[in-house]
Structure 1
Amino acid sequence: MKVKPIGLVNSPYKIKKGSPHQGRFSDEISTITIFEEYEEALDGIENYSYLKVIYWMDRADSVTLKVVPHGKTDKRGVFSTRAPVRPNPLGLCMVELIKIDGNVLTVRWLDALDESPVLDIKPFVQELDCP
């Protein structure tokens, strides 16, 4: 399997401590810089208010199969949580698109640490993404 980043996050969260457990709990602004070779893939993204950002949690701790979720007391399997200590530390975050300037997206609610590699961006489509 080969995964290649398409861009990088510029975030106010430099270290894990103090970063939100979920991006929706913070109104902090971040940017995503898409690498020049992928810039044309942004065509049409301005038609969406919300995006789903898939990024690599490159500073996640080692894999743990059972965790106690934030705010809970019971231990459960990591696949039933949003904990970052996963076999493949993929982050998935819905963000609000604020502005586009060339290859730079300005967004709200992104919980990724600064310089996290972005793997993909998909538009949030309510008819498809909500049961």
Structure 2
Amino acid sequence: MSVVENGAGAGIRAGERSVTLPDGFDAGVYFIGHIETPWTTRADCPRRGDMTDGPLCTLRIDPRWAQALTGLSGFRHVQVLYWMDEARRDLVLQVPRGGAAAGTFALRSPVRPNPIASSVAALVAVEGTSVTVRGLDCRTGTPLIDLKPARTPAEGAPASPPEAGS
């Protein structure tokens, strides 16, 4: 895989580096729905979601996955995994606004080889195939990859992950 250093211009900031992407994919995902938020463009989105004061957002689940929501309403928080479908995927070195160059894996930027975002959001309601949450930071229409219950440290989240197989 070759590394290309670009100056300002080629759609990236001075000092950033991109790589040639592989010809094919190693795996596939099923989008289980999409996310509705108040933001229509990436530029409108906040840098981080706010579980306390952020706006309500709705996860619209494809009806085929309706039974997968059984029992979810018993949790206070959910981990939302979503696909940042408008993000570049080829940068290995990035220069955040007002910051110094850093490797992609040292940043929470949506620009990454697999633009998967993860947010812990406050669960407000589950009604049919609509899940209302607070605390997301993506644009409306963002594809939804997965949803799982989450516990915050205040709720007694384990200090370390459980042993494999438990």
- 1:41 is the counterpart of 2:61: no
Q: 91, 97, 106: which one pairs with 1:80?
A: 106
Report how far residue 16 of structure 1 moved: 0.8
**1:34-70 deviation digits (Å, cap 9, x = unpaired):** 1100010001101111111000000113431112345
Query: Structure 2-normalised TM-score?
Result: 0.72
The one-letter code matched in structure 2 to 1:102 is: G
Provide the C-alpha distance between the structure 2 equivalents of 1:68 and 1:94, rounded to a whole number of angstroms: 26
- 1:64 is the counterpart of 2:91: yes
**Residue in structure 2 matched with residue 31 of structure 1 by the alignment:** 58
Q: 140, 143, 149: which one pairs with 1:114?
A: 140
Report how far residue 80 of structure 1 moved: 1.0
Q: 90, 108, 117: which one pairs with 2:116?
A: 90
Number of aligned positions between the proteins: 129
Does the aligned pair in 1 maintain the 2:42–2:138 contact within 8 Å?
no
Report the structure number with the largest CA radius of gyration.
Answer: 2
The one-letter code matched in structure 1 to 2:64 is: E
Q: Bigger relative contact order, structure 1 or 2, given CA contacts below 8 A and separation 6+?
A: 1
**1:4-53 deviation digits (Å, cap 9, x = unpaired):** 10111011111011211111286111100111000100011011111110
- 1:51 is the counterpart of 2:93: no
Moved over 2 A (4+): 125-128
Query: Structure 1-normalised TM-score?
Result: 0.90
